[in-house]
């Protein structure tokens, strides 16, 4: 029942997002239209149908006006309406049925704009929201800086330092040479000891 | 308390004579069952949804979603949600069939029907839903009326299940399908024992605490054990005339969804 758990959660999330959307969304054109998405990563389809001002998410495939076969990675690019034909050309997306339905759903996703700050303020108040937003901006900046720094260090290492780094075979060769010298020193020590013994006996 | 041998054949449900049937573990006159079941549901109607969520830990919502997904419902379909109670399936079907479609929420119990009607109206679902107080054995609809008939957690309360299945078959259109979502027999012995313990020790206490009616939930547990198992119900559907009958176990067989077509 993974499919039902997923569709149930998606339906809740999408409709909550629609209710928070500040742009005017017109669902009239999509009334009783269904877009079915078959993702290569999932073993089941997910269908999105429009009824009045709600989007219903289900596993029903019988009612699809348009079916898209694709992957999660490509799905993220689908938000832009004009991307659909480009993705079909690139063989990243297989579409059957009415392309207009897919375009209208893509346009709907593109037009979603939620004023999270204002929504949060309704629940926790203006001042805490302001502080929280400032904190999240600071954290985001720090993360961005850290990410930038890591990227720069990594490229520095690859371009300059990696050339100077001793390879494993070089280390093995060095170890072998050290062992050889050590063995020779041991031999000489034994020989000196024997000679000393002979001299002292004479 | 332990459950007696479950999953009788359709005929063995009537133990003493043809005029008797089961009410939980009790054997009663067939004529009395309707009023006794009605008593149970009049009592629990107002707390029905809360108790469903509590008892199943919310999983009943997924079982119902699975039923909707398996129904293959399309815009414009006519759907009968039999023993529809508080209208969970009706609400979803109403949105999926659209303005051209129709959904009939039927229940033998007026209290359940009233709670269902209030709930659906509060959700703004009014356009394509009709309410009918009806006994599943004597459906007050013309032959070949519905594309889909569902009965979720209702069949076990029907006095004569075979008669109800024949009645459903009659009102289905050719090509139409019946979906029966009902408690069934868990597939694994360990799960069966845990389920028995939960049903007879925890469930009635939960009912006592929340719905102030432990007896009704004791009946619920007993009626589940007396309900035919997966294979028996499938045979009953075959006997009623349904074709391509099949079932799918959900949550290890605690619940099963049976499906059959009329051609």
| A191 vs B157 pLDDT, higher one | A191
Residues 75-94 on B with a CB inside 8 Å of A are 75, 92
Q: How far apart are CA B20 and CA B15, in angstroms?
A: 7
> B62 and A8 in contact by Cβ < 8 A?
yes
Residues 6+ apart with CB under 8 A from B106: B80, B81, B82, B83, B84, B131, B132, B133, B134, B136, B139
Q: Please check whether residue B175 touches A, CB under 8 A.
A: no
DSSP string, A4-64: HHHHHHHHHHHHHHHHHB-S----GGGBT-EEEEEETTSSSEEEEEEETTEEEEES--TT-
Confidence (pLDDT) at B181: 95
Confidence (pLDDT) at B240: 95
| Position B168 pLDDT exceeds 90 | yes
Nearest to A1 among B71, B73, B250 (CB): B250
Give domain status of residue B1, yes or no: no
Give domain status of residue B190, yes or no: yes
Confidence (pLDDT) at B5: 42
Give the residue numbers spanning the domain of B95: 11-261
Q: Please check whether residue B68 touches A, CB under 8 A.
A: yes
Give domain status of residue B50, yes or no: yes
CATH code for the domain of B156: 3.40.50.150
> A1 and B63 in contact by Cβ < 8 A?
yes
Q: Give the highest mean pLDDT range of A160-164, B38-42, B65-69, B226-230.
A: B65-69
Q: Please check whether residue B227 touches A, CB under 8 A.
A: no
Question: For chain B, where are the E strands, in sequence order?
Answer: 20-23, 26-29, 78-82, 102-107, 129-133, 146-152, 172-183, 243-250, 255-261
Number of domains chain B contains:
1
Q: Please check whether residue B95 touches A, CB under 8 A.
A: yes
| A62 vs B166 pLDDT, higher one | B166
Q: Which residues face B152 on adjacent strands?
A: B181
Q: CATH second-level architecture of A2-110?
A: 2-Layer Sandwich (3.30)
Q: What residue segments make up the domains of chain A, in order of their start? A: 2-110, 117-201
Tell me the average pLDDT across B165-176.
96
Question: B98 near B73, Cβ under 8 Å?
Answer: no
CA distance A85 to chain B (A): 28
Cα-flanking dihedrals φ and ψ of residue A97, to 5°?
Answer: 100, -155
How many CB atoms sit inside 10 A of residue A135's CB?
10
Confidence (pLDDT) at B39: 67
Q: Please check whether residue B243 touches A, CB under 8 A.
A: no
Q: Please check whether residue A9 touches B, CB under 8 A.
A: no
Q: Please check whether residue B123 touches A, CB under 8 A.
A: no
Confidence (pLDDT) at B140: 95
- Among B67, B77, B96, the strongest candidate for a mutation testing the A interface, having the largest count of A CBs within 10 A, is B96
Give domain status of residue B256, yes or no: yes
Give the end-to-end CA distance of chain A in Å, rounded to a whole number: 97
How many CB atoms sit inside 10 A of residue B215's CB?
14
Give domain status of residue B5, yes or no: no
- Among A46, A51, A54, A62, the strongest candidate for a mutation testing the B interface, having the largest count of B CBs within 10 A, is A51
Measured between beta carbons, the chain B residues lying within 8 angstroms of A62 are 72-74
Query: What does pTM read for this prediction?
Result: 0.74
- Among B58, B74, B95, B103, the strongest candidate for a mutation testing the A interface, having the largest count of A CBs within 10 A, is B95
Q: What confidence tens digit (pLDDT) does each residue in B19-55 have?
A: 777 766 667 777 777 776 776 666 666 677 777 777 7
| Position B206 pLDDT exceeds 90 | no
Tell me the average pLDDT across A104-114.
79
Tell me the average pLDDT across B151-177.
93
């Amino acid at each position: 029942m993974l499919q039902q758990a997923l569709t149930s959660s998606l339906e809740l999330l999408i409709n909550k997002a629609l209710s928070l959307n500040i742009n005017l969304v017109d669902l009239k054109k999509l009334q009783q239209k269904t877009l079915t998405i078959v993702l290569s990563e999932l073993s089941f389809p997910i269908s999105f149908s429009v009824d009045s001002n709600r989007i219903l998410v289900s596993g029903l495939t019988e009612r699809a006006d348009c079916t898209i076969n694709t992957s999660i990675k490509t799905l993220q690019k689908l938000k832009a309406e004009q991307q659909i034909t480009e993705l079909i050309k690139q063989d990243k997306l297989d579409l059957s049925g009415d392309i207009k339905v897919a375009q209208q759903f893509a346009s709907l996703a593109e037009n979603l704009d939620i004023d999270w700050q204002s929504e949060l303020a309704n629940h926790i108040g203006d001042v805490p929201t302001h502080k929280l937003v400032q904190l999240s901006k600071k954290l985001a900046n720090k993360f961005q800086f850290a990410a930038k720094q890591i990227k720069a260090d990594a490229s520095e290492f690859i371009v300059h330092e990696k050339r100077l780094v001793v390879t494993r075979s070089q280390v093995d060769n060095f170890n072998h040479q050290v062992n050889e010298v050590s063995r020779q020193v041991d031999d000489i020590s034994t020989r000196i000891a024997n000679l000393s013994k002979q001299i002292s006996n004479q | 308390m332990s459950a007696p041998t479950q999953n009788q054949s359709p005929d063995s449900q009537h133990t003493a004579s043809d005029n008797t049937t089961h009410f939980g573990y009790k054997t009663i006159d067939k004529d009395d069952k309707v009023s006794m079941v009605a008593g149970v549901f009049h009592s629990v109607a107002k707390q029905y949804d809360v108790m469903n969520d509590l008892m199943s830990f919310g999983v009943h919502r997924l079982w119902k979603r699975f039923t909707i997904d398996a129904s293959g419902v399309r815009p414009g379909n006519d759907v009968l949600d039999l023993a529809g109670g508080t209208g969970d399936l009706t609400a979803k079907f109403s949105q999926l069939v659209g303005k051209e479609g129709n959904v009939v929420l039927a229940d033998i119990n007026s209290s359940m029907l009233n709670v269902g009607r209030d709930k659906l109206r509060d959700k703004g679902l009014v356009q394509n839903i009709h309410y009918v107080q009806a006994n599943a054995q004597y459906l007050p609809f013309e032959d070949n009326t519905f594309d889909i008939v569902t009965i979720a957690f209702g069949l076990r309360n029907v006095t004569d299940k075979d008669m109800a299945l024949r009645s459903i078959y009659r009102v289905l259109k050719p090509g139409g399908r019946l979906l029966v979502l009902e408690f069934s027999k868990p597939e694994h012995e360990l799960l069966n024992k845990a389920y028995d313990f939960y049903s007879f020790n925890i469930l009635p206490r939960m009912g006592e605490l929340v719905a102030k009616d432990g007896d009704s939930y004791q009946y619920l547990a007993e009626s589940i054990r007396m309900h035919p198992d997966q294979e028996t119900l499938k045979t009953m559907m075959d006997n009623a005339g349904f074709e391509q009958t099949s079932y799918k176990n959900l949550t290890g067989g605690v619940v099963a969804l049976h499906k059959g077509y009329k051609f």
